[in-house]
Amino acid sequence: MTHHDSKQVLESVAAVRARWSGQARVGIVLGTGLGGLAREIEAEATIAYPEIPHFPQSTVVSHKGQLVCGRLGGQPVVAMEGRFHLYEGYSAAQVTYPIRVLKELGCSILIVSNAAGGMNPLHRKGDLIVIEDHINLMGVNPLIGPNDEKLGPRFPDLIEPYDKVLQERALEVALEQGIVAHRGVYVAVTGPNLETRAEYRFLRTIGADVVGMSTVPEVLVAVHAGLRVLGFSIVTDLCLPDALEPVNIDEILAVAGQAEAKLRRVVLGVLGRLDA
Ligand code: HPA
């Protein structure tokens, strides 16, 4: 798959429609260690990825790989429990294919989340970052290839990839709930290795607050498709080049798991006031 084929998207949608007839409004992508939100959904259908034609098949054991359709915070939602990463060997087109399906299911808003390394020395492990902008250092772009004007424009503008009103709502909810949240810039790399000290120093210098291995491909396709995007990172480890400690993936997962409740509360608050 080099680019998205609208006929395939319609076939994927038909498979979901066979199980769920709701009109989705919000698509949610749950990042590593952040699957807890899926259990808050009043699920009307849970569809394993292998049951959806043209969906990439998950290879990573820690990722569940199912679409949870139902209601959350009073809104009709479709959540991806498990996402696809470039480092697993999927192409950028495969990683972002589900976003086209979410759009075709009726979503006008996409909420994306991830676990990320924190490079801003004022941030702490477990803090929530409301993504205000991003830098794509993945060296790939899911929009490369023939452009289907039915899906979106050839040259999408990225002046505001992350919706300002949704960012404000998220920060308001966090403040009200006493949750530490910061606006921040996310830089995406492919992984799977963590960064060198020199790379962290570089990534901080070019203006990023957090670094991770996901999200940007999905956001590019969402913007292309005209979705309003809200993005969150959880700072799972501190990546300060002059005080760098060895990574511990179990600890990253543990921090994400602990911070997941904050993400859940903020997302629920934002969904509850979408029409406010
Ligand atoms: N780099 C890239 N991805 C990450 C990191 C990191 O330091 N921490 C958690 N995800």
User: DSSP letters along 241-261, please?
Assistant: GGG-----HHHHHHHHHHHHH
Any idea where the domains of the chain sit in the sequence? 6-272
Give the distance (Å) from ligand 1 centre to CA of residue 213: 7
Q: Which atom of ligand 1 is nearest to the CA of 212?
A: 3
Sequence-distant (6+) residues with CB within 8 A of 79 are 27, 28, 29, 30, 37, 38, 41, 67, 68, 69, 72
Q: Is the CB of 194 under 6 A from ligand 1?
A: yes
Q: What are the percentages of helix, strand and coil residues in the chain, rounded to 5?
A: 35, 25, 40
140 CA distance to ligand 1 centroid (A)? 18
pLDDT tens, residue order, the chain (276 aa): 557 888 999 999 999 999 999 999 999 999 877 888 899 999 999 999 999 999 987 665 555 689 999 999 999 999 999 999 999 999 999 999 999 999 999 999 999 999 999 999 999 999 999 999 999 999 999 999 999 998 999 999 999 999 999 999 999 999 999 999 999 999 999 999 999 999 999 999 999 999 999 999 999 999 999 999 999 999 999 999 888 888 888 888 889 888 999 999 999 999 999 987
| Nearest protein Cα to ligand 1, atom 7 | 117
Distance 233 CA to ligand 1 centre (A): 11
**For position 33, what pLDDT does the model report?**
74
The secondary structure of residue 55, as a DSSP letter, is: P
**Amino acid found at 101:** V
d(CA 94, CA 4): 9
Measured from the CB, is residue 239 less than 6 Å from ligand 1?
yes
**Taking a C-beta distance cutoff of 8 angstroms, is the pair 70, 43 a contact?**
yes
Ligand 1 atom with the shortest distance to the CA of 114: 10
Alpha-helical (H) ranges within 85-215 are: 92-104, 164-176, 197-205
Q: Is 252 near ligand 1, meaning CB less than 6 Å away?
A: yes
**pLDDT at position 58:** 64
End-to-end C-alpha distance for the chain, whole angstroms: 41
Candidate of 125, 135, 237 to mutate for ligand 1, largest count of ligand atoms within 8 Å of Cβ = 237
Query: Does residue 192 contact residue 87 with C-beta atoms inside 8 Å?
Result: yes
DSSP annotation of 134: E
Q: Which residue has the tokens 């859940």?
A: 264
Query: Residue with the nearest Cα to atom 10 of ligand 1?
Result: 116
Classify residue 193 by burial, with Cβ atoms within 10 Å: 0-12, 13-18, 19+.
Answer: exposed
Given this model, what pLDDT does residue 205 score? 97
* Whether 44 contacts 71, CB under 8 Å: yes
Question: CB within 8 A of 156, min separation 6: which ones?
Answer: 143, 220, 223, 224
Q: Report the separation in Å between the CA atom of 118 and the middle of ligand 1, taken as the mean of its atom positions.
A: 8
Per CATH, which fold does 6-272 belong to?
Answer: Rossmann fold (3.40.50)
| 185 close to ligand 1 (CB < 6 Angstrom) | no
